[in-house]
A and B are shown apart, each in its own frame.
Chain A
Amino acid sequence: MIISAYQTHIFILIFIYIILAVSLNLALGYTGLLNLGHVAFFGIGAYTSALLAIEGLPYIAAVIIAGLFASVFGYLLVKATDKLKGDYMAMATLGFSFVVYSLLLNLRDITRGAMGIPGIPKPSILGLTIRTNDQYLIFVMAVCAISVFIMYRMVNSPFGKLLEANRDNAVNLRVLGKNTFALKYKAMMTSAFFAGVSGSLYAHYITFIDPTSFYIAELILILTIVIVGGLASIKGSIVATIVIIYVPEMLKMLELPASVLGPVRQALYAMILIAILMIRPRGIFGKVDLE
């Protein structure tokens, strides 16, 4: 390969986070669901896929079940929060993130709690095992391309226009005969499915997961990507993922101590977010206001 091992690692993370960010934008930007529970879908997908693969299930089955399991939680989350709007919806979905984190931490018989799950096997597809990071990069790139293409088609279809209409004015949509609850749960289930898939990709790449990988810091990172890129813009989410994941990595060139690097990286996320909100309140390519 023409890129270094470190760059390969960064690119793999970028492709995983592109799926995660675009799927959040589907719910948040396109459908208007102020969902702060997306990181929980990421975690559910990662744990489901890891546990099934360790039990010997083929990777393809594990990743699909991981996505479907996350989407079931997506449905339940919409069902539970159907009557909530704005800040109340945000608080309820944030609570969902806490609950899932807590379950991952405390269901020790299944998740091994804080000890995490080590030894997650690398994916094996049709008898071919992905052993190197270069191979994993090609694999994750292909999954990312398929996932983003499906979501792109979805938001540009007549169904996608209904999602945008729901975000802009749900009451008007209902008097036009559209079942907005069904629209919301279909959007959230799709969003959760792809978050689950990205969780699976993450787990099988890192080969070790623990609950801290799916908590507030991760949620802030994904939200920052979507807001910086702009709501209701797939292109924005892709560009922002590259910027937000890649730029802080350049800090490593400064050879800062590890104890300083982490906080500086978080501060950089915050600065990028504040700068974007001041200069372009709708994000780089955003079509709708944050409100």
Chain B
Amino acid sequence: MILSCKDIHKSFGGIKAIQGCSFTVKKNKITAIIGPNGSGKTTMFNVISKLIDPDSGTIEFDGQDVTSLKDYELSKLGISRTFQDVKLFQNLTIREHLQIALSDSDERLLSNLFRTKDVESEKIQEVMEIVGLDKPLETYATDLSYGQRKLLDLAIGIAKPHSLLMLDEPVAGVNPRLRDSIKNILRELNNRGESILLIEHDMNFVMDLVDHIFVMDAGKVIAEGSPEEIQNDPYVLAAYLGNCGDEEEIECWT
């Protein structure tokens, strides 16, 4: 087990975004959180990565209670994440993005003052090859298309030293070809032993890729299981698709 969330609660004023959410993510597996819009998936992601503090509950990462850690401290422990809306540094190049992700010594002011040597070239090249981003490293983030920005975002997530990769809607808004490409990248990463937790609305993508699924609705985990179990869970179908449950509507999952 790489991640464990126990009885997480989070409210924003009167809105209860997360209501007693608990789940675990196994090592070397691809796990998905799915659910209708507003079910609390991204809030849960933000709580796990400590961008938001939970009102109550505990988060354990790799056997360590990380509930009280700050976002950057948790990240240093080995959680890498991407965002639903691609967040890049618009005035930096691809190389600079990846150097920031890879480096653990760039926060030191004095020791970096006269540092010019690019020590991360090989690793940068390796990550670029993994994601298949065929652009010059000196290209600025603003000069990339949406799909390329999505790939760079994924490359940053992969490049950052981690033991859990969290992806918030990795194929949202991308064309079917790029979606398949990202699916293959994640599968390959998983074959290398990566633990991945993702949120995704594209059910074809999820059902074809992941090992385990948690279904959230109204801030709670309402079901969990393998893709096959989830596709055939009438309770999940009712929550996720509204008034459905017959065979015809089950088809819309796949």
Contact = CB atoms under 8 A, between A and B. Distances in A.
Closest 6 CB pairs of A and B: A177-B75, A158-B106, A168-B89, A172-B87, A159-B112, A177-B76
B160 A177 contact: yes
A232 interface: yes
Given A168-B92, A172-B89, A186-B109, A158 B115 contact: yes
Given A153-B114, A168-B90, A174-B72, A182 B51 contact: no
Interface of A: 150, 153-154, 157-159, 161-162, 164-165, 167-169, 171-180, 182-183, 186, 190, 232, 287-288
Contact of B75 (A176, A186, A232): A176
Given A175-B81, A176-B72, A183-B107, 4 more contacts: A157-B112, A157-B114, A176-B100, A176-B156
A173 B100 CA distance: 9
B109 A169 contact: no
Given A158-B112, A183-B107, A178 B100 contact: yes
B220 to A, nearest CB: 25
A98 B88 CA distance: 36
Nearest to A168: B89
A159 B108 contact: yes
Interface string B206-224: 0000000000000000000
A164 B92 CA distance: 8
29 contacts: A157-B116, A158-B99, A158-B100, A159-B106, A159-B108, A161-B92, A161-B106, A162-B100, A164-B92, A165-B89, A168-B88, A168-B89, A168-B91, A168-B92, A169-B89, A171-B87, A172-B89, A174-B51, A174-B71, A175-B51, A175-B71, A175-B80, A175-B81, A176-B75, A176-B100, A176-B101, A176-B160, A177-B104, A178-B72
- Interface size classification for chain B: 20 to 34
A160 to B, nearest CB: 8
Contacts of A183: 107
Interface string B32-72: 00000000000000000101000000000000000000011
Dominant SS among interface residues on chain B: loop
Contacts, number: 93
A168 B142 CA distance: 12
Contact of B91 (A164, A171, A182, A190): A164
Given A174-B75, A183-B107, A169 B87 contact: yes
Contacts of A164: 89, 91-92
Contacts of B113: 150, 153-154, 157, 159
A116 B72 CA distance: 47
Contacts of B49: 175
A134 to B, nearest CB: 32
- Of A150, A175, A186, most B-chain CB atoms within 10 Å: A175
Contacts of A154: 109, 113
A158 to B, nearest CB: 4
Contacts of B100: 158, 161-162, 165, 173, 176, 178
Contacts of B75: 174-177
Contact of B88 (A157, A169, A179, A287): A169
B103 interface: yes
Nearest to B75: A177
A153 B103 CA distance: 18
B202 interface: no
Contact of B72 (A159, A165, A177): A177
